[in-house]
Structures are given as C-alpha cells and as structure tokens.
Amino acid sequence: MSKPQETAFNPLGKRHIRSLAVGLLCGLPVLAQAQDSWEWRIAPYLWGTSLSGPVATVPGVPPVDVDASFSDILDNLDFAGMVVLQARNGRWGFSGDVQYVKLSAGSGSLAPTFGQANAKIRNTIVSLYADYQLGQGLEHELWVSGGFRHWSVSTDLSLTAGTSPARTANGSDSWIDPVIGIYGRRDIGERTYVSGWAYVGGFGAGSDHMVDLFGGLGYQFTPTTSGVLGYRYMSVDRTNGSFLYDVEQQGPLMGVVFNF
C-alpha cells in the first residue's frame, strides 16, 4: 500500500480566515453593547445543488469530469449544514455564509487495474463580508458587500486490489478569494417579496474566478419569520499544481429567515 499523498496546502489561509472569524464574532457583541439599534438575521437553508466540471483533487489520479445531479449527491450525502448570517446597524453591517458538505461515494469496477474506488469528500466554504446600504425605501433595500470567501476541499480515496495492489491516497487544498457584490430585497405584496444577490471574486488571488448568483421569492409568515424559495448558481475555477477544481453548482434553494 502506497503512502498517502497530499497536494500543496496553504495553512496561512486558514490562519487568516480564523482571525477574520474571531474578529467578527468578538467584535459584533462589543458593537452591539455600544449601540442598541443592531438588527440580526439568521437563515438556515437547504440547497438542492448539482455538481459538474473537471475535478482532480488526488495526486497521481487524472482529472475526472464530474456530472452529479442533486439526487446522486443526496444518495451519497453523509452530512450537510448551511446558514446565512447578517448583522446591521444603520447603513453598515456584516454578513456571512457557511456551507459544509461531506459525501461518501463508491465507483463501479475499475478492472483490471483495481477492483473498486471509494471516496470521502469534504467541502467547506466560509464567507465573511462588510456591508454598506446603497439605498432604502418603504418597499426596497439595496446593499453592497466586500470581503473574503474561504474554500477547503479534501478527498480521501481508497482503491481495492486488482492487477495492482490496493492503495490509498488523499489530496486537499485551501484558499481565500476576495469577493465583491450586491444583495437586496423588494416587497411585491403585503407579505411577499423578492430577494437576491450577485457576487464575483477570485481575480487570480485564490481561484481564477468565482461567481455566486441567487434569486428567490419570499413570504413573511410573521413580523420576525419568513420563508424563501429560489434558485442559486455558483462556479469556481481553482488550479494549484496537480489540484484542479473547476466546477459549477446550481439548483433550487429553500430557507427560513429569522429576524431579531
């Protein structure tokens, strides 16, 4: 059995994102004590995403063109957690988006070289932004955002024996993308509204490019609780040595928004 291999890893990126997260978590309560006009929103959501594009996350294993529907991903899903957070005070605010997905998947026969491949894939995305309100009326609001998105992708691969002996390998990469964008909301009825966002990033600093788009329809159940149903598209193109992650994710998104 060969020794597991690993792609180049960037620990500096993790330290940066941890510092940003600690600063956000520690700084917001202090500001909240100084001002009594903070508004908070938390929105857990489920994204029925598909995944497509060339992926090469394990050294020595050639790129694979992935084309997995949401039902394929759901069949192999071990755990997923997704949530959007917002904090606002007047025209300024902070926001964030956290996604964690863990998948387990097995292939068919790889004969004669190997018997079967089994993979465990972990994908973590953490976004932190500073927000500024461009405009607000009785029925609408528009915000501009700027910040960072941290990506961490890792794969553990095990191959059973065929004509070649069994082997295991692993690969991972972690990077930070600068991100800018806008988001907003507009009421279209007494209880209904439309909302959405558009973000771009990467610019060669982490990934070559990154795009994140969402549009949805919301319904206000109570003054503090609403539901949103829409569609999200996200793409990223990252190459780092033998690591390649050039994928598109898209599908319906459903969430619940709590205001306090």
The domain containing residue 149 runs over which residues? 11-259
User: Please, which pLDDT band fits residue 10 given cuts at 50, 70 and 90?
Assistant: very low
Residue that wins the pLDDT comparison between 140 and 58: 140
What distance, in Å, lies between the first and last C-alpha atoms of the chain? 55
pLDDT at 167: 76
Pick 221 or 241 by higher pLDDT.
221
Within a domain: residue 129? yes
Question: How many domains in the chain?
Answer: 1
Which of 95, 7, 12 has the alpha carbon at shortest distance from 55? 7
Residue 4 belongs to some domain of the structure: no
Report if residue 6 sits inside a domain.
no
| Residues in CB range of 230: below 8 A, 6 or more apart | 195, 196, 214, 215, 216, 217, 252, 253
What CATH number should be reported for the domain holding residue 129?
2.40.128.100
The answer to whether residue 1 is domain-embedded is no
- What distances in angstroms separate CA 164 from CA 3, 112, 159, 161, 238, one per listed residue? 15, 8, 10, 6, 31
Nearest to 154 by CA among 4, 47, 53: 4
Of 217, 239, 237, 238, the C-alpha closest to 228 is 217
pLDDT tens per residue, range 129-165: 999 999 988 899 999 999 999 999 988 877 777 787 8
* Rg for the chain, CA atoms, rounded: 21
- Choose the weakest-confidence range: 26-40, 166-180, 190-204: 26-40
Percentage of the chain modeled with pLDDT above 70 = 81
How far is the C-alpha of 229 from the C-alpha of 195, rounded, in Å? 10
Residues 85-97 have a mean pLDDT of 96
Per the domain annotation, does 2 fall within a domain? no
Q: From CA 55, how far away is CA 49, in angstroms rounded?
A: 17
* Dihedral over Cα of 236, 237, 240, 245: its sign: positive
State the sign of the Cα–Cα–Cα–Cα dihedral 49, 54, 58, 62: positive
